[in-house]
Amino acid sequence: MEVISQEFIKPVSPTPNHLKSFEYSICDQFALSNHIPILLYYPAQSDDNIQESKAINSSRLKRLKKSLSEILAHYYPLAGRLRSNNSTSVDCNDEGVPFIEAFMHNRRLEDILNNPDENYNTAKSFLPLTFESFPPSFLLLVQVTSFECGGIVVGVSVTHKILDMSSVITFLTDWATLARQDDDPNTNFMHPQLVPLAKFFPPRNNVPSVSIIAEASLTKEPCRINIYVFNPSSITNLKIKATSENITTPSRVDVVTSIMWKCLTAYSNRSSVLTYNVNLRKRVSPPMHAHHIGNFIGFAVASKQRSEKDMADIVISLRKGLSELENKYVKRLNGNQDEAIDSILEMLRDYLSSMAARINDDVDLYQLTSWCGFSFYDVDFGWGKPILFSSIPVKCKNLLALIDTKDGGVKVYICLSEDDMKMLEKNTELLTYATLETSLPI
């Protein structure tokens, strides 16, 4: 891997003075400031003609830089910097986004894609945060890695502090749409009007910290990450098993989560708790649109008794956790601002209190995050859609992360202790429905 160049892409027009400070919402306040890694893999557009591939990729880079500069004029906070830890706003100073151009010598993109173990180990080098010269105050970093064959990888690291996954995919979609509008007469880029969620849920003092959960999850003990793939036909079969009078149309996420949770707890004599994040935009009334930018997630908690082994029952438990979230907290978000903020704070305090108790209790605790349904495979900058979307899982014990596969299946990243992973790998029911793509120590 050779770094060819590094520059800062600034907004094409300066941010107006009245927008120089982007205020956190109350949900942004308690969000972690880690970066979300996104990797989009695009195939070559030329057949083994190295010179032609270089010319095509040079054109791709120019398009990406130009369109990034243009989209940053709309997503102006991303060209700024996070202020100190005690601040509740972003300094929208237009200092720009680091844009790194890299080249992978003597490797073909398809060779990496066809070898999952190698893909995971190499993927880290496609992300700009592997270059330690950037402080954590940067909100967005971009790296484009070209291959001799003409394939490229667009790597994006974007802060979680002011963006949840809904906001991330909205930004990427808008960037890609703007990038291809010059060449595609059917592309009509509608200039987005961002609506900061702080307008509805402004920051407050004494917001509780989520560090207790983060510290409990991040472990120093040896762990292993397995990546399981559920193809569409397996998911169809799981839906049949999970259907009941109460839940007649379980979703892909319902059934994949249920079978994973069932198999994880198959050898335990303890009860189990699963926590999962929920995008709240479509659950409030009236629903919010994608350009309501920020973190707007709720915390759902599902419980499973050790005797509970039926797929349909586990799906019902998942939906019960979601129903409790909506009835206890979400409905109150539709009231006046003070009541809505009180509801968010109550939700956060209840969640943290519950998790703190369970961390020290005789309970198996798992965390789930799902990126399914976000249209990463539609991010087309003007040379077609990606052949692969992936991320880099973190060393977070008992964490499950779900993402879409290109054919409509689901890929599951799961991090467990070495001993727990050995038990999971022996589970024949899991291997009936899923394929183990790779297993990696971390």
pLDDT tens track of the chain, all 442 residues?
A: 899 999 999 999 999 999 999 999 999 998 988 899 999 999 987 666 777 888 888 999 999 999 999 999 999 999 999 998 778 999 999 999 999 999 999 888 988 888 877 777 788 899 986 545 678 899 999 999 999 889 999 999 999 999 999 999 999 999 999 999 877 777 777 877 899 999 999 999 888 777 656 665 666 788 999 999 999 999 999 999 999 999 999 999 999 999 999 999 999 988 999 999 999 999 999 999 999 999 999 999 999 988 888 999 999 999 999 999 999 999 999 889 999 999 999 999 998 888 877 777 788 999 999 999 999 999 999 999 999 999 988 888 999 999 999 999 999 999 999 999 999 999 999 999 999 999 988 8
| Strand ranges inside 186-256, DSSP E | 195-196, 223-230
* CA–CA gap between residue 240 and residue 248 (Å, rounded): 9
Residues with Cβ < 8 Å from 210, sequence gap 6 or more?
A: 30, 31, 32, 348, 352
Is the Cβ–Cβ distance between 172 and 377 less than 8 Å?
A: no
In this structure, how many other beta carbons lie within 10 angstroms of the beta carbon of residue 442?
A: 12
- Beta strand 272-279 with 152-159 is unpaired
Is the Cβ–Cβ distance between 71 and 194 less than 8 Å?
A: no
In this structure, how many other beta carbons lie within 10 angstroms of the beta carbon of residue 65?
A: 18
pTM, full prediction? 0.94
